[in-house]
Amino acid sequence: MPHPTLSPTQARQLGDTLRKRRKHLGLSQEKVALASGITLQHYSLLENGYSDGRRRSPANPSLGLITSVSRALSMDISFLVQALDEDPEPSAGDDDLTA
């Protein structure tokens, strides 16, 4: 059975959600990466919706990685998962990332 992956749209949504939360907290990518236990390059790719800088395939983080990053950003993991199911169009409450 093939491993389920995020669509390119979902990968971008995840990255956008992470970026907005990080900026809301005033954190650098480097600080979030360090707190998550990953490299700056890996975190940067995740925020940009990619898993590999050369192939440019959509990000497909493991549950462990999503958990680590959500903790580093003081977010409930369910907020990140919910963001993947929402309409990709920006909403009026787009700036409210206080989850």
pLDDT above 80: residue 4: no
pLDDT above 90: residue 30: yes
62 in any annotated domain: yes
| Distance from C-alpha of 85 to C-alpha of 88, rounded to nearest angstrom | 9
- DSSP 3-state of 58: strand
The CATH number linked to 34 is 1.10.260.40
Residue-range definition of the domain harbouring residue 53: 8-84
Confidence of residue 52 (pLDDT cuts 50, 70, 90): confident
20 in any annotated domain: yes
98 in any annotated domain: no
1 in any annotated domain: no
Answer for the pair 97, 20: CB distance below 8 angstroms, yes or no.
yes
Amino acid making up residue 62: S
Q: What mean pLDDT comes out for the span 52-72?
A: 89
Confidence of residue 98 (pLDDT cuts 50, 70, 90): very low
- DSSP 3-state of 50: strand
Amino acid making up residue 37: G
pLDDT above 80: residue 44: yes
Length of the chain: 99
The structural domain count of the chain equals 1
pTM of this structure: 0.80
Q: What is the reported pLDDT for 82?
A: 83
| Distance from C-alpha of 70 to C-alpha of 64, rounded to nearest angstrom | 10
In 10 A of CB 89, how many CB atoms? 6
